[in-house]
Structure 1
């Protein structure tokens, strides 16, 4: 939001200004200073700013009167009118602490420095010289500097007295690690905020360097106590920051300081949901930053679960309910932080998404709330209009909070009762009076509370009139409170065709080992979910089928009940799950095997509108960029989840009719290419890191002189849902030259190991399955040949040794990913091999013999591969791919045509997919336009049927009475081409 400008100074505050100016002039007059220090000698802009601050803040004028010298020095420095640079505030404090000789002197200097900075920050905030972000950043930087520099000073003194703490295991000196939590951790401290801290140290041991050693725990406890005293104790100079240590394990009753291992064990064994919520904002604010980073990495799995964690919403909801009870009990509705529509609700909205999705979407693993909101919009979790309202409402509340606290440097979020303070708050927020300010405030609180309820509120809270949870009529049946006859009668009345089987499925789930082993909270979630499931299941035309397909998923996720919460919290996602499972057992099986796919059901627009090719590749690159380069396990999981998620999207889009057949294949092929591109990059990085870079023939270092060539369906841009990848690896390095690394190997070995690495990344089974099955049999010499060929060796083989069927396969070959230079060279070789002039009679003979051999081995035996007279009878199966008149016949005709005529018509080699090669044959006048159209339509019809059957987990076989016209036409054109 734009900065709220100060309103015209109300008459009720003018007396504050005149009194403050008079008292300040009197205080300045008592100093040994030039007359220029008088207010009357100040620049007009600064005088007006001073008047506004006097009207708004008792704190600033009290400090100015208490120490006018300090205030004048601050004004003369120019810092009231400018922003501080990075590190400038810390540098000032470091200079102020130079030569400090005692803990009492440390406390005095810290407090004087804090008061000086607090005056500057309030001055700039009240006069709108700093926006909200700058104010929060300055306050947080102030806290960081005070904590860290005080800790360093105290650590040095305690080491001189008690020795240096040393780790028992590492033998290295140890330092205190100070974690800042809450607003301090997020860099969003307010004008009069507590600082929430947790103290830690890396490992146990004892101090060295003195006669009487201390245990590390005792040493750091003393250091922590000294640090708290230096910051928190109120002296004649005030305090630095109020310190709150209650967020540490076990709260006030726990040890003040914990070792890393003790913290990790606590959060692993006993960490509670609210502690996860708090730990989102944890940041190292003092001590050893390297060790602190290690600590946060250790605790990350506690905060961010790798699976979708919708149980976080329950926890946040419970926390909010407790807060609301406290607000009502203490009459704190006027609290702009904790009351309805307050600051805490915006924080809860953002952190709900962080806790649920942050384990998988690393972009959400950040601390500042406004940046999290921006990410929620950018990643599609919340609409732009919602984020805009939350942004503006939050900033309005934070400006209000600062106004409340600027008055007296007092920690409060309560709206004032007194007329004077109300006038001050309205004045600072830019309103002419309290009523207009309060109306604006309530508008924002109402909007925030509405959005909060959309995210956090229970799906059962649909108004006060709602008495029963959705699906409550099914709860007795699920809880086995009905006898079998009554249960079956209820199922039959609801539309189940086979109620007894449905009841047995439900009983089987209820009595399964997975359900019996569930903990109490998990069983409660299951009991809340199943009635909703049944309520939505009976809305389908075939509820028996839906239930049969969905219950295995429920059983699969029973021990990870957060997924049940996801579906309970999101009725739309449950509806989409049932629709997809009803349409496809393949989808039902995929989601049961990989429940993390449930995340894809949350966003209907994204589910049924897959991104384009470039967006797909960019999304995968972005996801992998967030993973440390050395974390191969996580990189592999990201690749697999990406493939699973987008494969589900394309299947859902095909079922919904939003993606036609040709686009389905395009999309699945783009997906494979995007993944192969990143797999090649990972494999290259790993192999060169180990062996160094290979060499080219001219002695220069290779720069990924390697390509992955796709054959078959991936080469022809015709991938299906379960397709494997036919690949060939080609390099253009020197096979004899050694690599330039610490463990040099020759180029042939290097590229072989690179190829092995690629295959490993693609095929190894992880918890998320494998990426793709890979078939390398189309490489030169098949399984007997080298895994990776040089471009020269590939060309020699194709020229001298390859069979005609291998040249047929080359028609559909294209470079998928890799070096553009090598790709262009491969295309030249391919064009040269395929563009030869051939003996057409011999070519027809070889193509026909290969096709007959395939029909005999792979076609339907009972119809002689679709050539017998009974091939068109309903009871005789028709293999869409292998039988006569099917897919392979069309593919072979296209390949024959390309080999026969491309020496005269090189444009036939431009594309590798059958549809566009057929277009080329029509344009060249080699096939009649109507015959080309017939072949294209038959080909698309066959493939569409094969896709549908794959989604039904059925083989690509239909009854012999189907596609009669198409098959006969294809067989006729086959014969007309002279093929037999």
Structure 2
């Protein structure tokens, strides 16, 4: 006998895996001992195609228990439309299943298709009865829409409605619900003279509502506003209890504003106070209930304002800030699953489309549409977006909105969260509910994941491209007018993004993408992203020009475009650098290898200055002639400064590390240049040097506190070798030093490197080189207090280390006087400081924003520390340092200043140094003045880490506040 278990069909064959499936099937009369009963096969096949067969069967069984099952069973067997719709709904929505069970006759609506009239059901009804009647009628209409939306999943012969049609029906239903709710409110209020218009906003205004969504509205009233306000409030309450939440937060002044305003009140607000986002919201505004004439008048007033909003100051910055705010709201762990707000989500499409509409809709009425998909189609037809891009973005938008619809239908709750990739059950349900099918051996959940990622990636890619790819088509030589924009329209779009000279930007784009070369093709792929990134920098126009110059200079460098194409972080970093700094583009164009470091943060910012200096010395030592050595040293210095500048602007290096790196490379250049000059002169003098030479670093070089484009303050000391007179040794050393200085300062593709010897004895009138004994004699007999102060920074940097060390040991008695300073010397230092402040501060300079000589600036702090060193370093060895910050630490530890005062001085010194460096990078030349307005101020603030959407005035206030506090400390310590 055959095994009966092998011949009897199992419910599992139809996807019914629930333990209760057999019992439920028997209860509804569709299953017997031998499997499906005759005539029930179609029922089981339909169940198997439901989004969740088990859920659908449970719903059928519950309906059997709650209503006239015999009639429903017969109808399901005979009516394919009813069968498809009901079983699809039961397998997709537990909430609608609950409604069907609670309202046993509602299934008939699916058979007849007759929609209940929402206004009719509340005619003459008030209070809880009205809410109850409206809720049932609304839910029944929602059931009809969902059934029509889903039925084709179960019975393929049923038509599958387009997303746009479903969204339109949901919107129409919401409009009817608003009108019905207003009818209830008016009935309860009784006869009155108030006029009230209900203006739909958001998705309702755009004919693109979800199954579950707040409905955004604005109210306009006339005549009796108190009554109009009561009507509006009651309408919101009724609709909220029966159908959906009504949100009036988009009204003028938001929730703090009056619920109902007159037309004149709306007009006055929008003309005077409205912000950019409010005009963006008005793009979708349309009257849907109440006084039609008043609603039309409202539109007549606000529409002209909407289509001139792009002319407002700060329009682009406002829109970009809104985008960032939306993206920042998404928790990091959910950013890849958020259908609405995440990367590649619905908001990416909507923001891009709306910005294009607001820019180009000013002159093109065909773009003045509320629906996102309709606007996309119009943008494509008008050539503002490529046809294929518009179609692709529209397809992805509809796909994501369909997923959103299905997720909301399940429990009729507002949600936008795609299932976790490990949640196989929910993924499978969503895939089946969305009509996804297995493909090439892949399960439906795998196909859904793949499709979701594909569409999200496409949305993000096209979102980044949308503003720009049509611009490239507009400047290309393609004759097809329908596929490209005119130059004028392209310029307007760039202007909307914040480019001050759109025509110039178009010229750069054209130059970079002209021709059919591979290089032009890669540039064409890079520019859409780069243009968007540059739009977020302080100077998009300057950044684009720098990018063009850099690309033209590196046109024959084979790895350049590959690096940009394959390393996403490089493009982002290049955009920030080029759009912020004038100095960096010049440097990296001449030191292109630095661009490779942008792909590796550790290589860019983590290099040890000592190792860099050793590499420079080793490379330069290969050149036997001075000219070749200096050329190599300059080249390597250029590379290192470019590296440091990039890391600095990107926020990857702290200020002390920046200064130390810049100082270290200058020292290495001096070491290499001196060694080469000594070799060259030794040959001229018989093959051996006549003197030992040491270079003593002074000023910021001595303190390892150099900035960009800083000169090197030094002194030269020499000592005769055995058998050579001092005069001959000085002559030899002077010839070496002069030769080295000439080579470093000679014209070349790099700026000259100035070696400043102004701090030597007798200043510019004194000898360029002295012997150690000559220095000692001078300091003992003629030294002034300012020279002792200058020696506080003295440190050995190059040449003969023993000689340099002996020089420092010798001058210690002058810079660290045994008895400190007497009152006369203190007064002299204060007098000199006052003269420097008065005479050297440039005419017209603002003393509150001059980083070097301004109040609370670098000079104030450094002179204060140096005064403490002159007074106490003999007794406090830790004060014997050339670095300002180390001197502050030592003074604090020695209790010469309080911790609070030290902190104020430290903060001001670091800030002033950072600002000075940033201002030099931004302007492209050495500067001590903080910009106080315009792009340069924005750029300096950005370079210091202030967000691009922050007010740069906050940075300026912070600078003045910090230096003001430091100046107060200086007044107490230096002058008291």
TM-score (norm: length of structure 2): 0.45
TM-score (norm: length of structure 1): 0.45
Structure possessing the higher relative contact order (Cα contacts under 8 Å, 6 or more residues apart): 1
Q: Which has the larger radius of gyration?
A: 2
